[in-house]
């Protein structure tokens, strides 16, 4: 799993393609699960999915998530990552699954037509946009803008009635304001997940349904994000 603590100087490398490329070249085909395997959040995820869904996985990295979905019968899965060596490694590893598609792409500029997916799924990818933030109460305008750009792209490629599912350690208080923007045209709810052990580390599943309205209290949360701190 992902280390809980990392020296602060290490985090700035995370947004850089060179860092990820070197990591994937070094690790080759070894899987790395940032937030644990699919089985941990399948009970929350499965009710949202249909076998026929066109699924896009954002920032797949060398996680087995896309392949696990395929094995469960979700065969229309496209996975993107901005690291060429990552995508090359995944294509090679899953060459026996020709229906799994892989593409090198920046999540801030998706090269897909509008409304081309029923489900967009991300696990820990959006967290990378926040790693250099030192104060979660006052997120930098750059991070807010990056997040908005990615979410606008996700909303654009989502089919009406489709959903965006985000799996992260980010708590609702800090993450919901980014997702609760009326511009994206989706509703928002979340569920906490954990292993069930006492004191287990919890993570959250955020589910945004395109074409459904935001709850008024979420709208209010979202508005706070663009107000300058007092």
8 located within any domain: no
pLDDT: is 201 or 29 the higher one?
Answer: 201
Question: CB of 133 within 8 A of CB of 147?
Answer: no
Per-residue confidence band for 3, with pLDDT thresholds at 50, 70 and 90:
very low
| pLDDT on residue 8 | 44
Each residue of 63-92: pLDDT tens digit?
A: 889 999 998 999 999 999 999 999 999 999
Q: What percent of the chain has pLDDT over 70?
A: 80
- Reduced to 3 DSSP states, what percent helix, strand and coil does the chain have, rounded to the nearest 5? 40, 20, 40
Question: CB of 66 within 8 A of CB of 128?
Answer: no
Range of the domain at 211: 17-21+32-225
What is the domain count for the chain?
1
11 located within any domain: no
State how far the Cα of 174 lies from the Cα of 229, in Å rounded to an integer.
Answer: 14
State how far the Cα of 2 lies from the Cα of 33, in Å rounded to an integer.
Answer: 7
83 located within any domain: yes
The CATH number covering residue 147 comes to 3.40.50.150
| pLDDT on residue 202 | 76
């Amino acid at each position: 799993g992902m280390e809980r603590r990392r020296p602060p100087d290490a985090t700035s490398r995370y947004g850089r393609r060179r860092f990820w490329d070197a990591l994937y070249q070094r690790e080759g085909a070894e899987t790395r699960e940032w937030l644990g395997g699919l089985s941990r959040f399948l009970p929350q995820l499965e009710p949202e999915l249909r076998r026929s869904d066109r699924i896009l996985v954002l920032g797949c990295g060398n996680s087995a998530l896309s392949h696990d979905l395929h094995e469960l019968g979700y065969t229309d899965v496209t996975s993107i990552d901005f690291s060429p060596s990552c995508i090359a490694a995944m294509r090679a590893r899953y060459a026996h699954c020709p229906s799994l598609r892989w593409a090198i792409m920046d999540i801030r500029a998706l090269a897909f037509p509008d409304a081309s997916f029923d489900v967009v799924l991300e696990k820990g990818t959006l967290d990378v946009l926040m790693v250099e933030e030192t104060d979660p109460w006052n997120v930098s305008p750059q991070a807010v803008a990056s997040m908005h750009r990615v979410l606008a792209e996700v909303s654009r490629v989502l089919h009406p009635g489709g959903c965006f599912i985000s799996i992260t350690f980010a708590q609702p208080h800090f993450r919901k304001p980014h997702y609760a923007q009326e511009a994206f045209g989706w509703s928002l709810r979340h569920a906490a997940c954990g292993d069930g052990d006492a004191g287990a580390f919890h993570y959250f599943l955020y589910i945004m349904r395109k074409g459904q309205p935001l709850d008024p209290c979420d709208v209010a949360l979202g508005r706070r994000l663009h107000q300058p701190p007092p």
